[in-house]
Chain A
Amino acid sequence: MTVEEYNRSVDQFSDGLYRFILNNIKDAEKARDIIQDTYEKLWRKIETVSSEKVKSYLFTTAYHTMIDLLRKEKWSTDVNTVNRDSYSHTDQYSDLNEILHEAIERLPEDQRSVIMLRDYEGYSYQEIAEITGLTESQVKVYIYRGRLFLKNYIGKIESVI
């Protein structure tokens, strides 16, 4: 890809990439570092990455960079530690989207990532599998479990409200 295409990828994908990482790790500084590191890796491979594949390359690289960071800092969320019944809250919710984003933070990391890639970026199961390194079946299972959790979460919130 050319330098112009590289710069265009910054305009087109850096916001979505930043949102994806920020929603996963909830640390703006670290999210920015990951984005810069991701684009630095892209720059080093500018000769081999085509403009058609650049979005997939960016998300794949950013996802794995994030996973590496989480593992280093031991931030990885243990699926078993997620208490799906701890829905109690006292804040007033402004809209459904806010409720959903609070709910998504309670999801295990894998489920959260695949649902965000699916909803935010519109990736197919196969593309999500390539980005995350999961199988397509695993992606479907994670999406299924994640949706079920979100449905139950907002159902309980709505019943409270």
Chain B
Amino acid sequence: MNITRENYESFFLDYLEGSLDSSMVEEMNAFLESNPDLKEELEEFKQVSLPAAPIAFRDKEQLKKIVSKRDDIGDRHFDHLCIAKLEGDLNSAEEKALDQLLIDQPQRKKELDLFLKTKLQPLPVIFPDKRLLKRKAPAFRRKYAWYSISAAASVILILAFLLLLSRFQNPQEERIAIVSPMTESSDGTVSEEPTIIEEDVPALVDQVVERMVPKVESGTVKKDDAVAMNIPETTMEQKGESISVNYPEIVADRRTNLDLLSRREFEQITTSAYTTIVTTEIMEQENEVEGEYLTLREVVARRLRSAVSAEEPGATGQEDKITFLDIADAGVRGISRIPGIDMKLDRYYDQNGQLTSYAFTSKSLSFSHEVKK
């Protein structure tokens, strides 16, 4: 910027304060040479100044602070380092600073030790009422399926027991078993295994007539024999046939409604005077091998499965095993017969006949469960 007569004042102020750079100073000198009147004015400017008065503050020392003789780490900083060390918050630089401080001022080691002692150690306090706080798992949540099915099975087993009990108390529904004596066949061999035929009375007569003495000359059944056989007299008369048997033993079988018992099992469970050796013969199932002997468990299993799996087309094999679902199914079926109660237990099988899942359905509750393989 060039210095002119219009703007020289601000340049004069900078010139007098020495804030003009060298090029501007040269330009200012040239401007003053060419304008002598303004040069005189600048000289007058130089004479106007306020010299500093010699005044001094005399109480400086009272304002000064005593310089601590401790090192530059103050008390608060030292406390901070100690607490940070206790809490595990020190970084490496702070750790070194603290170590150096303790080397320089070993008397502070005691303070650090005191800080380290402030770490609380738990007192052995035991809560006395833990047992009151614990809860039992709600049956509905996790084991609902198991318990509900078990309950259903239990109910039906009780009902079945009551049904059997009623049969005990009702003579009209008694079932009998006839054990044939050892008979000699036409070829002279003696049958070692007597057979037992157990049926309701009318059917029994048919069985006796057809199987045991079909070719015997007609005769008359003695009344005493009929009584011994516990056969209603009317039944005999209706049949109009006489029966002659070689000392048949008639055993009133009040034990169970199981129609098949193995001889071996039966010998083990009874020695009653009213019972003799009983050998079971599987008579109902056509596909069974004649003369097959089964254990009591197998007999029960077959009976149960024949009742349950009749509607289970997918079920295959293992007829001699009773599964939990068989019992549960039987229970559910029994309960569903009660008027007003509608429930069922469905089982689902894959192509190989393996059980894949089961489902329980009722009015108020339904659930299904996949069987883990």
Contacts and interface: CB of A to CB of B under 8 A. Distances in A.
B127 A18 contact: yes
Interface string B83-126: 10011000000000000000000000001001101111111011
B255 interface: no
A120 B133 contact: no
Contact of A147 (B83, B134, B137): B83
A82 interface: no
A101 B125 CA distance: 13
B116 to A, nearest CB: 9
Nearest to B112: A151
B135 A11 contact: no
Given A143-B87, A151-B111, A97 B123 contact: yes
Given A101-B123, A151-B111, A35 B129 contact: yes
Contacts of A18: 125-127
Contacts of B120: 97, 100-101, 104, 115-116, 119-120
Contacts of B87: 118, 143
A161 B150 CA distance: 72
User: From DSSP, what is the main secondary structure of chain B's interface residues?
Assistant: loop
Contacts of A104: 120
A7 B125 contact: no
A3 B117 contact: no
A147 B111 CA distance: 12
Contacts of B241: none
A93 interface: no
A14 B128 CA distance: 9
Contacts of B126: 15, 18
A150 interface: yes
A122 to B, nearest CB: 10
Given A3-B137, A148-B79, A151-B111, A32 B122 contact: no
B373 interface: no
Contacts of B222: none
A101 B86 CA distance: 18
B122 A7 contact: no
A101 B122 CA distance: 10
Interface residues on B, range: 20 to 34
A155 B134 CA distance: 44
Contacts of B135: 3, 6-7, 43
A22 interface: yes
B43 to A, nearest CB: 67
A87 interface: no
Contacts of A39: 133
B64 interface: no
Given A22-B125, A143-B87, A151-B111, A11 B118 contact: no
Given A19-B125, A120-B122, A148-B79, A10 B130 contact: yes
B300 to A, nearest CB: 37
Contacts of B310: none
Contact of B114 (A6, A101, A154): A154
Interface in A11-31: 11, 14-19, 22-23
A155 to B, nearest CB: 5
A118 B137 CA distance: 34
B80 interface: yes
B127 A35 contact: yes
Contacts of A119: 119-122
A126 interface: no
Of B117, B125, B141, chain A has the most CB atoms within 10 Å of the CB of: B125
B6 to A, nearest CB: 63
Interface string A106-147: 000000000110111000000000000000000000011001
Nearest to B87: A143
A62 to B, nearest CB: 11
Contacts of A147: 83, 86, 115, 118
Q: Top 7 nearest A-B pairs by Cβ distance?
A: A119-B120, A18-B127, A19-B125, A150-B118, A14-B127, A3-B137, A10-B133
Given A100-B118, A147-B115, 10 more contacts: A3-B136, A7-B134, A19-B122, A32-B127, A97-B121, A119-B121, A144-B83, A148-B79, A154-B114, A155-B111
Interface of B: 79-80, 82-83, 86-87, 111, 114-115, 117-123, 125-130, 132-138, 141
24 contacts: A3-B138, A3-B141, A10-B130, A14-B130, A15-B125, A15-B126, A16-B122, A19-B123, A32-B129, A36-B129, A100-B117, A100-B120, A100-B121, A101-B120, A115-B120, A118-B87, A120-B120, A143-B87, A144-B80, A147-B115, A148-B83, A151-B117, A154-B114, A158-B114
Interface of A: 2-4, 6-7, 10-11, 14-19, 22-23, 32, 35-36, 39, 43, 96-97, 100-101, 104, 115-116, 118-120, 143-144, 147-148, 150-151, 154-155, 158
